[in-house]
Structure formats: C-alpha cells, structure tokens
Chains A and B, each alone.
Chain A
C-alpha cells in the first residue's frame, strides 16, 4: 500500500484543513487501487457497443479505436446511490492517545475520508454523531456538496461526555426503508446492551454494518511505569494503579472486552475491524470497499 495513506504527524501539521486532508487521503488511496478489483463498482461497466450518433464522446474507448480503427463506447450500469451512514463516537473516551495517535482525531479523519470515498463512488454519505447525546449530523444524500457539509461538521465537533444512544436515534433508524450501509467508528468503551440493541436495530432495517473499533496504542500497551492515579475520562472516577503490577491483568481484560465486541458483531453478521490509531487509514477504507462490493 502507498505510504501516503499513512496518517503521520507531519502531514497533519502541514494540512490543518480537514477537507483538504481527507481529499488527499482518498486521492492517494484511489491511486493505489488502479489495478484493484474495486475500481468503478458504483458505475459498473457492462459491455461495449458500437458508437451511434448522440452518444457521449466521454464514453468512447479511444484505446479500442486505436487498435481497431472502430469507435466503441463503454456501457455502464446505473448508479446505485446507496445510503451510507457514518456513526462517529464523540464520547470523552475517544479523546485519548498521543498527538499522533489520538482516537478522536483518527476517527474524524476516517469519517471524512470515508465520506469523500463514498461520494466518489456515487453513494450517499451521511453522518451521525453519538456521545453524551446522539444527534443526526448530516442526513445521507447523493449531492455534490454533501462532503463539504460532513467535513464542516466534523471540523467543529469535540469529544466530550459519555456515550448515549437516545430514543430519538432509535426511532430515526426504525424509519429506514431502503437498504443501506452503516459504518460505526467507536472505541465502544461505554458499550452496553444499548449499543448492541442499536446495532441489532440497524441490522433489522436492512443496514449492512461495518464496525471500526478504534484503540490507541497507549491503551493496548499501557506504556506507563510506576504508580499513578488514573482518572476515567468519561465518569471522572479515579483509581490508584501501579502500572507494573496491573499491566498483565489490564491487557487480559482488554482483550476479553475486544473479543466480546467482535463476537457480538459476528453474531449479527456485522463486519468487525480492529484498528490501532498508529495504523494507516487504508485498512479501514479497504474494509469499507470490501463490504461495499459485497452489496
């Protein structure tokens, strides 16, 4: 995979504009896919046919004309205009990690890149933010200015409070009538039955689910040394911890938690991708494309 897809601190520092950054990432990502099976899935190539007057000149295959001296046009299937809703966790626990590995920054960038990619594929991206209170950020529409609205909202959003999926969001999901796709970006640290119920509701409404589970390297490795008082970012609760003593038990319990999330996702036939925030974004983008291709 091209190294330009990697989320590195120098790139982030040089490009403060989130829309521009998302655009750069998606361009780089698509450049790397010119031989991939994902190209043009939204406007599917169907067959060649002889050129007739009135056909759009952009659809003439000039390479075939160069070989055969005959004019042929490429025939595509219609656009799908799939509704792809991005659900981004904005709870306080997401605002964790170093300057290069902050989960919320990673999540926002991922959401932005996905929306860009979806528009390129002529899908209809939308954005839902869920944190201390859930709110419908940008409804899914297949319009050209849709990424601008999504990116603008992402740029203004801050991670704060706990995680709550309100009844309004549930009712809104129940109103879905068309088949669509839901991309969940979260650390799931506030995961309880309410989250899984929400996913089940999405599934019930014929939404294909892609879960992108974000974990910061600091959370996986616990690179602390010595004694600390740890303060919970959401609840404010404190605990005295000696990192050396606690590390083994912490890692075991974290893995058990991640395993539980994965099992629940598999049970409801949702795709699950575990992401470390020091990983390139293309892992998540590729997962999206694979899921999209299966539809």
Chain B
C-alpha cells in the first residue's frame, strides 16, 4: 500500500538538505602548512584523535541532515490508508447504553408503562448506529453492571430483550462511571457517546458530580417517565423493640392530592390480622399501629399492604419475619397457697414474669409459669413425656421443704436447672442451712432489722452480674430507691460470687453453681414483707433477666425480627459457621424455590430475589431461618430531574490521553494511519543524540 502525503508540496523542502552540505564544504578549510619551531612535542596519538574528530564531524553532519529530512517528512504528513475507509470516511461510533432497571421503571404513567418506553428508546438508539459502529449495555439496578461490552448493535439488541425492571434502586452515577470506563477501553479514534435511558428519579442521580466525564463523550438522555407521578408506598414495617418503638408500618404519600380512607391490610402468616383505613395529606406519611399478640412460638411472616390507585404498585407492600422463642418454664413454689392471690409469696414474681399469668394469653410473655406447693416440687420436677420440664425453680422464703423436694431440687440444679431463692419471715437460719446445705451459696446467721427511718438500700453492684444488664444504659432505672428493712447476716461460701451488696457491705445477691446448674440467693423476701423492691419498676427487668440468666437464655427475647434485605442491594445473609459450604433451598412467596450455597464462613448470597418472605432450608427440608426481601424504599418518590438539570450536574473534564500508545502515535483521521507523530518523536530523539555528540566533540 503506497505512502500518501497530505502536504506533498513540503517535500520540495528536501532540496534544502543541500544547504548544510554546501555550507560544510565551503567552510571546510584546507589543511594549512605551518612552520613550527619544533614538532618534538607532537605525537602520533594526536593523529588518531584527528581521525576520530573527522568521523564525529561526518556523523554530526549526517545527523543534522537526517533531522532536517525527518522534519520535512513530518510536515508533509505521510499516512497509510487503512481498511475500507477512504480519507473522507466518517469516524466510527461507539455508544454505551445506560439502562435504568430500577423499581421505578415498573411505574405506569397514564397507562403507559415506563419499561416499555425505556426498551423502545434503547432500541431506537441502537438502530441509529451504522455498520462498523459498536454498542455496549450497562444496567443500573443496585450496582451498575456491564451486561454487554462493546459489540455490534445487533448483539446488544438481543441482550435488551432479556432485561426487565428490578425491585432495587438505581444509581445512575455508577452507571455513567461504568460507561466511561467501557468507552476508555474502546477505540480512541471512534466518536464516543453515552445514551442514558431512565426516568431520571432525583433519588437515583445523587452522586453525578463525583463521576468525571470527559468532554469528548457525548451524553444523550432519553427520559421515559413523567417529571412527577403520584405514588403511595409502604416504607417501613417493624415490630416492637427494646427502644420502645411500637409494632407498626409507615405509609408515605408522594402526591399532591389528599387520600382519604386508604385501605391497609396487615397479614400474619397469610391470615388477615387487621384492616385499618388511613387518610394521607399531600406529601405526608402516617404510622399504622399493628398488634402481634398471641403469636405462638416459631417463625411468623408479616405482610403489610395498601391498595392505592397510583403509578407504582411495586412498593405497595412490605414484608417482615419474626421469630417467637419458646417461653422459659418457671416453677413457682408457693408457701401460702390458701391465701388471697396478692398475699401469696410469689405474687410479685409471677406478675413480673408473666402479667397475663392465669389468663388465656399466659405464656406469651416469654415465661411459662407453674405454681406448686413445696410438697409438689418433686413431682413437678420429675420428667413427663410430652411436657417441657421447668428450667428455673423460684423458692420464696419457705418455712420448710420436704426431704424428697430438697433432693429433687438439688438433682435439678446439678442437671443444669436454675434456682432462685429468697428468704423471709418463715425462714429460720438453722432450718435454711440444713435444708439447702450444698445447694445455696451462703450460710445464714441471724435476722437483723433496720430502723424504719433509715432503711438499708442497695449499694454496690456488678453491672455485668445476673439481672443487672438492663441497667447499664444511663437513666435506665434507679436501683437505690428500694428500701430494705430486714435481712440475714450471711456468710458466703468460698466459690460464691456476691453480685450486689447493701450500702453497709452486707451481701444482697449471692450466686453460685451446683453441678451444671446455677443458683442465686436474694437476701430479702420475694414479697413486700421485708422490702418494697417489688413495688418499684426496676424489679421487673431485674427478675426477668435473672431468670433468663439462670435458664442460660440471657438474650432470648420473646420475639425477634428476622433479617430484612433490600432488593438489588448486595447483602449477605449470615447463617453462621455451622452452615458453611452448604447447599440450601430458598422457599419464597407462592412456593417459589431457589437454590443457593453458602460460602466458607456460612454466608449466603440471596441474589436477585423478588420481595416477600423467604425460608432458608437445608436440602433435607429442615428450616434454618427466615428472612424478608423488600423493594427499595428510595424508589417511592417518583419526582424526576429535567434533562437540563441532569446535564448540569455532570462533572465534565478535558479528555485525557488514551492509554493506547500505538493508537495515540499512529491515530488520526478515520481511515488513516498517520506517521507525523513518530517522525517528530524521532526528530526529538535525534536532537538529543546530536546534542550529546556535539558536546562530546568539544571536550
């Protein structure tokens, strides 16, 4: 293929090469003959130096001629025609299609689905490309992904047919970043453009200024939604927590008209639990209180749904899973069974552990209570098929305990059960020490009383000790308020642990271990005969946590929320190391089943699951946990940016030099392989060489 010169007229300047040669010849001096006094101080070595000098001078002349010749050639702009393109051919195009696949693309504006419009706009952009042009597809759903790298438009059209809107949120900035990266790796000679097909939700275009977009890239926008479409959404569904938030759902209204009497549904395990109509003013939100009472132990699935007539239906429901733990069976031993209920020794303890004790809702408070007399202890602790045995025995200050009952309690504690014991008026030191020798961690000495005007109060206590963990946060209860009027002087055993003392240092709570079980002695009565602690609100959390500690279930809340994931967001479900490298089945709404595997740390990637409640099961069908997937709540607000607002937020930067050195050196007009840049580079290199050589000659 012949070399063509754009400016062939410059080649005539090559005749100028004769000028340095002529100058060289003209200035070349004839070697003079000089008579000198003596030549004895000149040696033959100098003759060799003269020969080298001549050679260097010749080389310098050649270098300078070469520099001139290369400069002339560079100005003549030689090039080779490449491919089929002729010198006047157009530049090829490379286009990246950034397709918004977020939840908001499921919206319907005046009967026109946004997604249909988006696909149509994308196809039209692709069809404008000509043979030789290339296109790529970047999807924006959660994390932006390159669906198809630069390829002929037909290939991207095929990929487009398989796309559909997701349930996640879009990040158009990330999509742009990916598009710029794809173009940077493409052909530097091609004209580059990015076509963004989106509804341009404001929430999805927040970080545009963080993405540098070279000026050389043409950004074209294809809006497929209205600037503002009315939409209602359920943004939150949560159950009661320790912070005091009640169970409920939040409904958002992104519209300009008041919505009266919006129908809401709350379903538990698919069964309608409540229907609450709500009214919403424009741009407002409302909280709908929900009740979870009466849930039996085990997993439950919650769903809250609204039925509005709005643009987007994908955000009209919200899902949640809860786990109701089995209650802790507690055996209350009552020494005064025949009295009125509030005169019973265990009255306050029973009320604190299960306020619904004795009613049909009993046991839903996390503790399953059973009251027996001392004579019934042994039978109550004996294992019965099909019935859960007690995990904690609460002993108020009993006058006496039958021998078989003492043995049963000791055996119960040794086998891992918990014992919570109080003292009181019915307790004598000798009898107590004899009955519970080897079981309780103290020996009683004598009863002592405080003057009514100066009762004892709780002094020092260990915040990490059983029962006191709820009081760690500030202002979580004043334990110094309860007054104590009577107590025993006690001698703790060697292995016991005193977790709380009166102000004067006498132990109030003494713990210990018997076999595999735990015991805890309270040096006061379980009722209000020796103190008024049961009447203070600190008594309830203390007692409940103390019983949980004794049952070795310290963190067992009566109801616990399952994991909630947001669709489209990269989150892992942690199933624990026990489920590492396991093949699992995910069973979702309508019985839909998806298989998944955990990694080496027992984490599961749920992938792109549709909103709903999902159950994680082993291959054998054993349920491990449940979790819920909800649509991205940030997609609910359908207010969009205008194209000019979007363009204004872009961070435009001057185009940077391509990393393709070959293309940068030999690139140029389409269809040409230009050589003027390498020629100039060669001139620069020769100039450096000439400088070095001429300086060396002068030394």
Contact = CB atoms under 8 A, between A and B. Distances in A.
B24 interface: no
Contact of A231 (B36, B40, B43): B36
B37 interface: yes
B41 A234 contact: no
Contact of B33 (A231, A242, A246): A231
A290 interface: no
Interface string A19-35: 00000000000000000
Interface string A215-239: 0100100001011111111100111
A216 B49 CA distance: 26
Given A224-B34, A242-B53, A230 B46 contact: no
B53 A245 contact: yes
B695 to A, nearest CB: 14
A76 interface: no
B475 interface: no
B49 A246 contact: yes
Contacts of B36: 96, 230-233
A229 B32 contact: yes
A54 interface: no
B384 interface: no
Interface in A177-224: 187, 189, 216, 219, 224
A110 B50 CA distance: 39
B42 A241 contact: yes
Contacts of A189: 37-38, 40
Nearest to B52: A245
Given A232-B38, A233-B37, A254-B41, A241 B46 contact: yes
A246 B36 CA distance: 14
Contacts of B39: 230-232, 237-239
Most buried by B among A189, A234, A242: A242
Interface in B1-49: 29, 31-43, 45-47, 49
B246 to A, nearest CB: 102
A226 B28 CA distance: 10
Most buried by A among B29, B33, B41: B41
Contact of B41 (A187, A228, A257): A257
A246 B31 CA distance: 15
B53 A230 contact: no
B47 A228 contact: no
Given A189-B40, A250-B41, A254-B41, A229 B49 contact: no
Contacts of A226: 29, 32
A249 B41 CA distance: 8
Nearest to B41: A253
A194 to B, nearest CB: 16
B209 to A, nearest CB: 66
Contact of A249 (B33, B34, B46): B46
A103 B38 CA distance: 13
Interface residues of A, number: 32
A115 interface: no
B98 to A, nearest CB: 70
A238 B41 CA distance: 13
A256 to B, nearest CB: 9
B37 A216 contact: yes
Contact of B50 (A187, A238, A241, A249): A241
A13 B564 CA distance: 119
A85 interface: no
A240 B38 contact: no
A93 interface: yes
Nearest to B44: A239
B42 A230 contact: yes
B42 A245 contact: no
Contact of A219 (B29, B37, B42, B46): B37
A94 B35 CA distance: 12
A194 B590 CA distance: 129
Contacts of A228: 31-34
Contacts of B33: 228-229, 231, 238
Nearest to A252: B41
A230 B47 contact: no
B34 A229 contact: yes
B33 to A, nearest CB: 5
A219 B36 CA distance: 8
Nearest to A229: B33
B38 to A, nearest CB: 4
Contact of B42 (A94, A103, A250): A250
Contact of B46 (A187, A245, A257): A245
Nearest to A247: B46
Contacts of B49: 242, 245-246
Nearest to A96: B37
Contacts of A246: 42, 46, 49
A262 B42 CA distance: 21
A240 B34 contact: no
B645 to A, nearest CB: 75
Contacts of A232: 36, 38-40
Contact of A233 (B29, B32, B35, B46): B35
Interface string B630-658: 00000000000000000000000000000
A67 B446 CA distance: 148
A246 B53 CA distance: 12
A72 to B, nearest CB: 57
A123 to B, nearest CB: 32
B34 A93 contact: no
Contacts of B42: 230, 239, 241, 246, 249-250
Interface of B: 29, 31-43, 45-47, 49-50, 53
Q: Which 4 A-B residue pairings sit nearest by Cβ, starting from the closest?
A: A96-B37, A245-B49, A246-B46, A242-B50
Interface of A: 93-94, 96, 103, 187, 189, 216, 219, 224, 226-234, 237-242, 244-246, 249-250, 253-254, 257
Given A232-B38, A233-B36, 13 more contacts: A93-B37, A94-B37, A96-B35, A103-B37, A226-B32, A228-B34, A231-B34, A231-B35, A231-B39, A241-B47, A242-B50, A254-B41, A257-B41
28 contacts: A96-B35, A96-B37, A187-B37, A189-B37, A189-B38, A219-B37, A226-B32, A228-B34, A229-B34, A230-B35, A230-B36, A230-B42, A231-B33, A231-B35, A233-B37, A234-B38, A239-B47, A240-B47, A241-B42, A241-B47, A241-B50, A242-B49, A242-B53, A245-B46, A245-B53, A253-B43, A254-B41, A257-B41
